[in-house]
Amino acid sequence: MNKTFKLAPSILSADFANLGADLHKIEVAGANLVHVDVMDGSFVPNISIGPLLVEACKRSTILPLDVHLMIVQPEKYIKAFADAGADIITVHAESTTHLHRTLQLIKDVNVGVGLAVNPLTPLNVVLEALPYLDLALIMSVNPGFGGQKFIKPSLDRIETVANWISDLGLACEIEVDGGVKTNNIKEIVNAGANILVAGSAVFNENSVEQNIKDLRLAVK
Ligand code: DX5
Ligand code: ZN
């Protein structure tokens, strides 16, 4: 079966000195979204991007900006990222005490509402939150760095969430983030994911165009 999916290159692995050029490359190569990894050195060990860079991306691409907040108390920054041009804002279930309120805050700024869960976070939080979500992000690595290995049991987790969404007749999308490569992308899509984040598989020594082609071909 040929399943359709959206590709969301993560700019964490892009060349920040030539970000405009890299955004142009993924756009031309047919990427569907730009995945922006925001890290604060507290929720995750790494520090990366803030609203200023999101605003710069907004001026450099027509692709929707899929902003993944890996920060503590994300509720404090939702408006800043929405003002900067985020089209979807995803928060981690593990990062905010009043998740229901935080999801509502995202809705209130009129952007897509996303909820992420780490590899061992019980999925029942996703089930409970589904009616409020445009996107459920199943982390397939521990967040913080690009270039890590895909955690295999994530496939079952994707399938579980996909079944819930279909049983409930909801339109929520399923995104997978971490370790997506040509050698596993097909099984990830078959498990039910429809937005695939890829950082190191897109931005590496080969051409971005070829890498994106290869990822798409691998699903066929
Ligand atoms: C990990 C980030 C990912 C990461 C993916 O914390 O959320 O988006 O950049 O990188 P790869 O595709 O290299 O695993
Ligand atoms: Zn991410």
Distance of CA 87 to the CA centre of its chain: 12
Instruction: Read off the pLDDT band of 3 (50, 70, 90).
Output: confident
Q: Are 118 and 143 in contact (CB under 8 A)?
A: yes
Model confidence, pTM = 0.98
pLDDT at 94 over 80: yes
Which residue has 């890299």 as its token pair?
A: 22
Average pLDDT value for the chain = 97
Distance 11 CA to ligand 1 centre (A): 9
| Ligand 1 contact via 180 beta carbon (within 6 Å) | yes
Q: Which fold has domain 6-219?
A: TIM Barrel (3.20.20)
Catalytic residue among 22, 40, 134, 177: 177
Rg of the chain over all Cα atoms, to the nearest angstrom:
16
- Tell me the per-residue pLDDT of 5-35, one tens digit each, with 9 for 90 and over: 999 999 999 999 999 999 999 999 999 999 9
Residue 37 appears among annotated catalytic residues: yes
Domain coordinates in residue numbering, the chain: 6-219
Q: Are 198 and 176 in contact (CB under 8 A)?
A: no
Residues of the chain with pLDDT > 90, as a percent, come to 98
| Ligand 1 contact via 201 beta carbon (within 6 Å) | yes
The confidence score (pLDDT) of residue 2 equals: 58
Q: Are 89 and 103 in contact (CB under 8 A)?
A: no
Contacts of 122 (CB under 8 A, 6+ apart): none
Between CA 160 and CA 162 the distance in angstroms is 5
Run of H or E including 60: helix 51-60
The confidence score (pLDDT) of residue 111 equals: 98
**Cβ atoms < 10 Å from Cβ of 112:** 18
pLDDT at 4 over 90: no
pLDDT at 178 over 80: yes
